[in-house]
Structure 1
Amino acid sequence: MNFSLYIAKRYLFSKTSNNAINIITIIASFGVIVGSLALFIILSGFSGLRTFSYSLLDVSDPDIKITSSKGKTFLYTEDIHHSLESNTSIKVISKIIEERVFLEYNDKNEIAYVKGVEENYTSITHVDSVVSVGNWLDKDLTNTAVVGNGISRKLSLGILNFGEPLSIMVPKPGIGFINPNNAFYKLNVQIVGLYSGTEEFENKFVFVSLKEAQDLLKFKENQFTGIELKLVDNSDADLFAEQLQEQLGNQFKVQTKEQLNEAMYKVLNTENFIIYLIFTLIVIVALFNVIGAILMMIIDKKSNLKTLLNLGATIQEIKKIFVLQGFLLTILGMFIGLVLGILLVIIQKQFGLFMITQNLPYPVEFRFSNLFIVIATITILGFIASKIASSRISNEFIEK
């Protein structure tokens, strides 16, 4: 066995005659355990929040969205249809119409977006899975709509209120004098469902059938504002979007889900990084206890070190003893902290001990990447702390 490692293990696991040093070592170990535990749980929590946030986007945004880069609308030609239908990476194609509209219900008004969708739209985003009250659009029913809970609250809307329909109005295009009594195209609809989601999503859309949106806006049969795509599993959305953009040309804009929600993705990634830095700082503070424990051990074992030096041990070998002792102390504390952290994450995921709301447990997610980050962080910082503590050893110090 390595000489320095053998003595380091003896120093770490054997009690000293000085109880103060034993207590300091226990405190240092506890600090590493808590630091490792906290860092892993925080990273797992943010991984869970990220996954939860992305799942909310899965019901509001498609994998790929195609819009016109010149104007609001475009004509869906045979060339476009053939380009999309022949692409093996595309699972579902759905044409949409989006337009900002004026909503009116019982003398209450609100600005929102009407979104006309095809029957297969629920295969694109699974928005029907978040309809909390009522049902999704039925192809056999006309003049019906599904609105967000946010819009419902603002307008005091209920479902199947046949006494008073929701009026969807859009200004008529044109120039010159506008008769205020005839300035809008209008569509009256009955609300058949309310959907939930992010705050922005709940306050944004009124879903109607594609045909009704075309009739409201007086669009041509092949005139749309966008095309939304569902890709086959395990497709590279970024690469696909780049290739499709080249294929369609600069008259179209092809965006991925991440590009559609660029601000949200940046916020999540930035928050995760900042929280990691904050808790790494906490770990660094905890490792000062390790430095203190090693320094106290060096002072306590000073006579032993002099004996080792006289027996032929070099200063570097003696320094290595305490580097290894601090490193082993850090690794042991990290291992215990990670075991506890993994158990807590699994328990939270299975049983939901901590709740955000009555029905929503705080999301966590076990990832090996988080495990690697914690191991790398604690190991590197623990090694540095041990090196700092052992640098106190010198010939002059031992001979004093």
Structure 2
Amino acid sequence: MSWITRISVVGIAVITAALIIILSAFNGIEQMVSKLYSDYDPAITMRSSEGKTFDSTSVNLNQLRKIPGVISLSKAIEETVIIKHGKKWVNARMVGVDYSFVDACNLSKHMVDGYPVLEENGEPTAVIGASLLDKIDGYISELDGYEELTLYTPLRDASIARLKSPFKVSPLKVVGRMNYNKDVNMSDLLVPINYAEIQLNYGTDITAIYFHAKKENIEQIKAALVAKFGDHFQIKTAAEKNELIFKTSESEKKIVVLILLFIFVLAAFNLVASLNMLFIEKKENIETMERFGATKRFIFQIFFFEGILIALKGIGIGLVLGIGVCLLQNHYGFLQMPNSGGNDAFPVILRVRDVLFILGTVSGLSVLSAYFPVAYLVRKTSA
């Protein structure tokens, strides 16, 4: 095997392996991002199209729970509030929920410190985004088991002219810090829904209903809700709510794959050069074969299949190398996620359909890279 043939094999092998590893890494990142958002964001969120709030008694919640595929649902109250700790002030999104939401979002698995409860000894407590508490220099004391904040909640229908402050000021014990994704960590404050109702004087009004559902039933549930409520409510799935994030990830994946395929095409020029050198080297043998009656088609097949064998060797090595790296990463976790403290391995998900896609694509490009040069060389020889 000549040096240029070896370069062809190595080039094809490296790009094939890179395609497998990159696609598997993107699959892992997509699943990780999806999990971070889907754990916290409900499968479906229903809000009023006619205002910020709506009367929860106007919707038959028991009927909604009976929709096939619905695991649970939670009434929710969302409001922008101000949190004060010492001399630090920060805006936050207060989310009033019940314990069905706490269970559905696996809050206990996403705690940084503290514990996932929204009531203790009959008093309301809160769980705050990890970065949000850091922003106001707060921490969960191991001695007390909580951090006390001052909550400024906007009063409903408050008139600044009549009141000194349009806010209701209340102390609030934060008993835990949660870690989901950047948005939640920087903004959210979970409180009991009855506490949010009192703070905002909402009565039976709520801002949203969260549906937790089986993944395979999400679209059917949405269709059932749209058919039932029409234009009176905005009904969005978690994927629609975070559409930009998922579309950006998918676009990045496609762009990287296209770049690598382009590099593969460049690497295939080594195969062209290898076949060209082989053709020149065997020119006398070709002339001898022609004197013995070998047809141009027969000579074409010899060199074409030689090119295919070189490509298949590179593809085979690349597949073994790429799959091997992915399996080793999954088993041993050599590469760690940044800022994970060595606790989280970089996620890699190897999918059969991706391997088949890569195998089909690089094989097709290899066939083209072998066919046209050999066809040209054989035609040129016969001229």
The TM-score normalised by the length of structure 2 is 0.92
After TM superposition, the structure 1 = structure 2 runs for residues 73-112 of structure 1, keeping only pairs within 5 Å, are 73-77=53-57, 79-112=59-92
- 2:150 is the counterpart of 1:167: yes
2: CA distance, partners of 1:155 / 1:97: 24
How far residue 71 of structure 1 moved from its aligned partner, in angstroms, is 1.0
CA contact (8 A) 1:36 1:378 kept: yes
| Structure 1 counterpart SS, 2:140 | coil
Matched residue, 2:344:
360
Matched residue, 2:329:
348
CA contact (8 A) 1:342 1:366 kept: yes
After TM superposition, the structure 1 = structure 2 runs for residues 253-332 of structure 1, keeping only pairs within 5 Å, are 253-332=234-313
| Structure 2 counterpart SS, 1:249 | helix
How far residue 231 of structure 1 moved from its aligned partner, in angstroms, is 1.2
Once structures 1 and 2 are overlaid, which stretch shifts more, 306-315 or 31-40? 306-315
CA displacement, residues 318-369 of structure 1 (integer Å, 9 cap, x when unaligned): 2232222212221221111111111111111111111123222111111112
CA gap of 1:297–1:167, structure 2 versus 1, over 3 A, is same
- 2:352 is the counterpart of 1:372: no
CA gap of 1:217–1:173, structure 2 versus 1, over 3 A, is closer
| Structure 1 counterpart SS, 2:376 | coil
2: CA distance, partners of 1:127 / 1:327: 55
CA gap of 1:62–1:162, structure 2 versus 1, over 3 A, is closer
How far residue 177 of structure 1 moved from its aligned partner, in angstroms, is 4.2
CA displacement, residues 274-311 of structure 1 (integer Å, 9 cap, x when unaligned): 11111112211211111110111111122222233344
Report how many aligned residue pairs link the two structures. Answer: 377
After TM superposition, the structure 1 = structure 2 runs for residues 26-45 of structure 1, keeping only pairs within 5 Å, are 26-45=6-25
Q: Which amino acid aligns with 2:206?
A: F
Matched residue, 1:195:
178
CA contact (8 A) 1:124 1:229 kept: no
Once structures 1 and 2 are overlaid, which stretch shifts more, 311-320 or 84-93? 311-320
2: CA distance, partners of 1:195 / 1:164: 14
Once structures 1 and 2 are overlaid, which stretch shifts more, 149-158 or 135-144? 135-144
CA contact (8 A) 2:151 2:171 kept: yes
Structure 1, unaligned runs of 5 or more: 1-14, 16-21
How far residue 176 of structure 1 moved from its aligned partner, in angstroms, is 5.4
CA contact (8 A) 1:105 1:164 kept: no
CA gap of 1:347–1:204, structure 2 versus 1, over 3 A, is same
CA contact (8 A) 1:119 1:139 kept: no
Matched residue, 1:19:
none
CA contact (8 A) 1:52 1:363 kept: yes
Pick one of 9, 27, 40 that aligns with 1:60: 40
CA contact (8 A) 1:116 1:209 kept: yes
1: CA distance, partners of 2:79 / 2:210: 15
Matched residue, 2:130:
149
- 2:198 is the counterpart of 1:215: yes
Structure 2, unaligned runs of 5 or more: none
| Structure 1 counterpart SS, 2:210 | strand
How far residue 152 of structure 1 moved from its aligned partner, in angstroms, is 0.9
| Structure 2 counterpart SS, 1:350 | helix
CA contact (8 A) 1:291 1:385 kept: yes
Once structures 1 and 2 are overlaid, which stretch shifts more, 183-192 or 160-169? 160-169
How far residue 261 of structure 1 moved from its aligned partner, in angstroms, is 0.5
CA contact (8 A) 2:81 2:153 kept: yes
How far residue 120 of structure 1 moved from its aligned partner, in angstroms, is 1.2
CA displacement, residues 145-203 of structure 1 (integer Å, 9 cap, x when unaligned): 11011111111112256997312222223375435633112332111000112111101
| Structure 1 counterpart SS, 2:100 | helix
CA gap of 1:299–1:236, structure 2 versus 1, over 3 A, is farther
2: CA distance, partners of 1:100 / 1:69: 19
1: CA distance, partners of 2:237 / 2:109: 22
| Structure 2 counterpart SS, 1:91 | strand
2: CA distance, partners of 1:125 / 1:259: 18
CA gap of 1:258–1:396, structure 2 versus 1, over 3 A, is closer
- 2:368 is the counterpart of 1:384: yes
Once structures 1 and 2 are overlaid, which stretch shifts more, 264-273 or 308-317? 308-317
1: CA distance, partners of 2:66 / 2:146: 48
Q: Which amino acid aligns with 2:181?
A: T
1: CA distance, partners of 2:211 / 2:274: 60
| Structure 1 counterpart SS, 2:42 | coil
2: CA distance, partners of 1:168 / 1:299: 83
The percentage of counterpart residues that share the same residue type is: 26
2: CA distance, partners of 1:74 / 1:383: 63
Matched residue, 1:119:
99
Q: Which amino acid aligns with 2:133?
A: S
CA contact (8 A) 1:306 1:398 kept: no
Matched residue, 1:226:
208
CA contact (8 A) 2:118 2:127 kept: no
